[in-house]
Structure 1
Amino acid sequence: MLLIECNKIKKYFGDRLILDIEKLRIYSEDRIGIVGINGAGKTTLINILSKRLESDEGWVKSYGKHGYISQLESPDNNIISAEIASKFGIESNWNDKMSGGEKTRFKLAGALDNKSAIIFADEPTSNLDIEGIELLEEKLSDYNGGLILISHDRNFLDKLCNKIIEIENGKIEIYNGNYSFYRNQKNQEKERVRFEYEEYIKEKKRLEEVIKEKKQKSKSIKRAPKRMGNSEARLHKMGGQKAKANLDRAVKNVKKRIENLETKEKPIGQSGIKLDIMDSNKLHSKIIIEGKNINKKFEEKIIFKNAEFNIYNNAKIALIGPNGCGKTTLINMILNNENNIKVAKGAKIGYFSQDMNILKNNLSIIENVMESSIYPESFARLLLARLLFKGETIYKKIDVLSGGERVKVSFAKILLQDINLLILDEPTNYIDINALEVIEETLKEYDRTLLFVSHDRKFVEAVANQIMTIEDKKIKIFMGTYKEYLSRKNNLNRNKEDRATKIILLENRLSEVIGKLSMPAKQNDLEILNEEYNEIVEELKRLKN
């Protein structure tokens, strides 16, 4: 069923053309992820499609109700039914004091309660913990309607989308499939462009060699020797001139072939980013951060109780867990060098936080980055280019940048400082996927100690080689990747479920045995029953412990 159609859409911001869309139709079975760099017009597009924003040219028609989920805006409906509120584990009335996760669940519940034919979602996973993201995935997967989604969470896009719309230079390109399929298609396109360019260069060089060879032959045609008579010389000259003319004509023809070759532009290559830290700054301690007997509480809420942990040199640790469990608290305790937390001597910490207070608004991007950089400006420019700050854009002042752009500049500034211990608190929020993948690749190559908080599962899996969790007021470290951690966790959960089932069965059997022991029938053997009773009690004790 057709839900939205639009035609000849144009939207300007000042004199800049943000969107130029010839035609777009969206159907009830479409579950679309919108991707593009920061500032490409992703939010503008869904605001136009949902009629929250007027286009400057063209028209949009929509059929049926729609719901809208955004981290930055209050919901359209402040009250939802008690039935759907209970399904999402929230109150039925909107409250500004709700947590980020509760607010997102409320907005989604409101969209479903409104029986929306299509849901628009603008970065719905921002500020959600992993459990909240998985709940949102589950609810949107069960939703039977159209979905238009902006997200930097690649797992989220993979699980929910069957189409990807890419916005580039105001134009849209539609790819059938989820995000991974889209990335594969893009990589194939890049590979095809590279191959076509190499074939073009190869053929051009071959033809240039032909020209060179024929010119050499033309030059080598000699004049008649002096000893020849006039008639012989005339014949020699005529033959030579004819051959020379043929060669010159062949050269012209080959030149035309070169001119007629379809020109292929050289694909833009991306250099790898390798942060080489000077040997004098390397940390040689085995343990970089050590915590013993850590206790922390806020009023009556206990965060840590006799917790301890060790972070070893060159470890890349992802600190994960539900919102409110104490992740940021632990990072602040490390940064403040609180009692019972010891940081290795010589550690120089680079810290990324969401408030981005290391940036100076009155300075340009390149001035901010170079203010504390130990690397040459050429390298800083390379890193900024990879983060899509190219050409004159590096001279933009910070106060005119979007939130996502500021995140990227903050990240670049920290990486280029004189540091040997990197701590990042949610570095992936609000940045485009292209930049996220650059940050991911850079951190994979980073050969020093790294501690980071992230709810982006793909990012955690790609970068971390250890997983830190906060459970029951204790700090635990799993020595392995996120995939291995999940596998172990699932196995433990399955074992726990199996154990719970066995306990129920044994307790039921124990009740039967006790009943027979207390009121034995003639056929009952009390000695066997008593022996079974003892065995069941011992097995229950073992399982419960």
Structure 2
Amino acid sequence: MTKAARVMKDHAESLTPVAKPSEQPKVTLRVEQFATLGRHTPVTVRHLRLQAGERTLVKDLSFVLRGGERIAITGPNQVGKTTLLRAILANDATAITVNPAVKFGYFAQNMSRLDLTASIWTNVTTHTQQENAVVRTVLAEFGFKANALDVAVQNLSGGQRVKVSLVKVLLSDANALILDEPTNYLDLPTLRALEAFLTSYPGTILFVSHDETFVKHVATRILALSPTGLADPKQVVTKKITSAERQAADEALLAQFRNSF
């Protein structure tokens, strides 16, 4: 064996193989809260003119959110994605019809729904119908072990507060979730836990995300906003992502985290 070949062989043997992403456990939610909505249409938007003050963001927007769908709202910055979510929540526009059986759970980055003086456990369990074991499992998947659940939210870091706020919404008594950039500030294990939860969620989900891989993993349909309406009028169904694509995305995300320190 030549010297160059020996060097290449030694280098290959020194490489640590990249572990495949571990499978996230599936959480089984109590389904009573979802029964009233069933497969009825939660939200219908017909010819909505989306505005921010006097400025028109989208001229003419129409779509239907059907029961059990997981729709991703995508598009460039300042096109009105968050404004659309807020308009649906407000339900005060004639162009928007929200089924009376819908009960929204809303996640936003401002975390205004957290009680800072209360514990992690109290914040999450105040408005949930889920069993304590389910709550503990989800909290653990988001990085909160049993011995930390009595910690007051005010003593947590900003990233930890985001996680508590997210779990509080996910386990609330809602039957439809509206999530505005839920992946911000999440590490890789938590991101995978969120994907596993959402893909097994029995209700309806409408979310905004710039994370293309997350959208591919979670969404059953994509609505791409543009100033004129939907950039994709056919409302493209997302393809299943392969294990190789998932591993490549994981490695890219890990590299991003390493470079940020």
Measured against the shorter chain, the TM-score band is: 0.7 to 0.9
Gaps of 5+ in 2: 1-13, 242-261
1:399 and 2:235 matched: no
Contact persistence 1:319–1:468 (CA under 8 A): yes
Q: Does 1:389 align with 2:141?
A: no
RMSD of the alignment, in Å?
Answer: 2.4
Q: Deviations over 1:137-169 (max 9, x none)?
A: xxxxxxxxxxxxxxxxxxxxxxxxxxxxxxxxx
Deviations 1:10-38 (A, max 9, x none): xxxxxxxxxxxxxxxxxxxxxxxxxxxxx
Offset at residue 347 of structure 1 (A) = 0.3
2:50·2:80 contact (CA, 8 Å) conserved in 1?
A: no
Query: What is the correspondence of 1:352-371 to structure 2 with a 5 Å cutoff?
Result: 352-371=107-126
Alignment of 1:82-101 (within 5 A): none
One-letter amino acid matched to 2:152: K
| TM-score, length basis structure 1 | 0.39
Shift of 1:287: 2.1
- 1:169-318 maps to which residues of 2 (within 5 A)? 182-184=18-20, 271-278=25-32, 281-284=35-38, 286-298=40-52, 301-318=55-72
CA contact (8 A) 1:327 1:453 kept: yes
Instruction: Quote the Cα distance in structure 2 between the aligned partners of 1:346 and 1:425.
Output: 22
Q: Is the 8 A contact 1:363 1:398 kept in 2?
A: yes
Structure 1 residue 371 displacement after superposition: 1.2
- State the Cα distance separating 1:322 from its structure 2 match: 0.9
Q: 1:468 to 1:362 in 2, by over 3 A?
A: same
User: Where does residue 185 of structure 2 map in the other structure?
Assistant: 430
- Tell me the distance in 1 between the aligned counterparts of 2:57 and 2:198: 29
**Residues 1:477 and 1:401: Cα distance change in structure 2 (over 3 Å):** farther
- How far off is 1:183 after superposition? 3.7
CA contact (8 A) 2:24 2:192 kept: no
**Identity of counterpart residues, as a percentage?**
35
Structure 2 letter corresponding to 1:481: T
Equivalent residue runs for 1:102-121 within 5 Å: none
Q: Is the 8 A contact 2:135 2:171 kept in 1?
A: yes
Higher relative contact order (CA 8 A, sep 6+): 2
CA contact (8 A) 1:317 1:464 kept: yes
Equivalents in 2 of 1:326, 1:391: separation in Å?
A: 40
Q: 1:482 to 1:468 in 2, by over 3 A?
A: farther
Q: Which residue of 2 aligns with 1:319?
A: 73
Question: Relative to structure 1, is the Cα distance of residues 270 and 390 closer, same or farther in structure 2, using a 3 angstrom cutoff?
Answer: farther
What is the deviation of 1:447? 2.0
1:349 to 78, 101, 104: 104
What is the SS of the residue equivalent to 1:478? coil
Task: For residue 437 of structure 1, give the secondary structure of its aligned residue in structure 2.
Answer: helix
Q: 1:456 pairs with 200, 211, 223, which one?
A: 211
Instruction: Tell me the TM-score normalized by structure 2.
Output: 0.79
Quick one: distance in 1 between partners of 2:34 and 2:53? 44
Q: 1:310 to 1:387 in 2, by over 3 A?
A: same
Structure 1 or 2, whichever has the larger Rg, is 1
Structure with the largest fraction of helix:
1
User: Which of the residues 216, 222, 247 maps onto 1:467?
Assistant: 222
Change (3 A) 1:386 1:280: closer
Amino acid across the alignment from 1:333:
A
CA deviation after TM superposition for structure 1 residue 354, in Å = 0.5
Q: CA shift at 1:378, angstroms?
A: 2.3
- Of the candidates 232, 235, 241, which is equivalent to residue 478 of structure 1? 235
Q: 1:336 — aligned with what?
A: 90
Q: What is the CA-CA distance between 1:427 and the residue it aligns to? A: 0.5
CA separation of 1:394 and 1:480: change in aligned 2, threshold 3 A: same
Superposition misfits of 4+ residues, deviation over 3 angstroms: 279-282
**Residues 507-522 of structure 1 correspond to what in structure 2 (within 5 A)?**
none
Give the conservation status (yes or no) of the 8 Å contact 2:25–2:196: no
Change (3 A) 1:461 1:302: same
CA 1:456–1:280: 2 relative to 1, 3 Å: closer
Question: Residue type of the partner of 2:91?
Answer: N
What do residues 461-485 of structure 1 show as CA deviations (whole Å, max 9, x unaligned)?
100010011123213461400679x
Q: Deviations over 1:489-524 (max 9, x none)?
A: xxxxxxxxxxxxxxxxxxxxxxxxxxxxxxxxxxxx
Gap regions ≥5 residues in structure 1? 1-174, 188-268, 485-545
Cα distance change of structure 1 residues 396 and 281 upon mapping to structure 2, 3 Å threshold: same
Q: 1:280 and 1:478 mapped to 2: Cα distance? A: 25
Q: Note the C-alpha offset of 1:412.
A: 1.2
User: Kindly tell me: are residues 391 and 356 of structure 1, through their superposed partners in 2, closer, same or farther at Cα, counting changes over 3 Å?
Assistant: same
Aligned-pair CA distance for 1:422: 0.7
Q: Distance in 2 between matches of 1:445 and 1:483?
A: 15
State the secondary structure of the residue aligned to 1:480. Answer: coil
1:306–1:474: 8 Å Cα contact kept in structure 2? yes
Question: Could you say what secondary structure the match of 1:297 adopts?
Answer: strand
Cα shift at 1:280: 6.4
Secondary structure of the 2:223 match is: strand
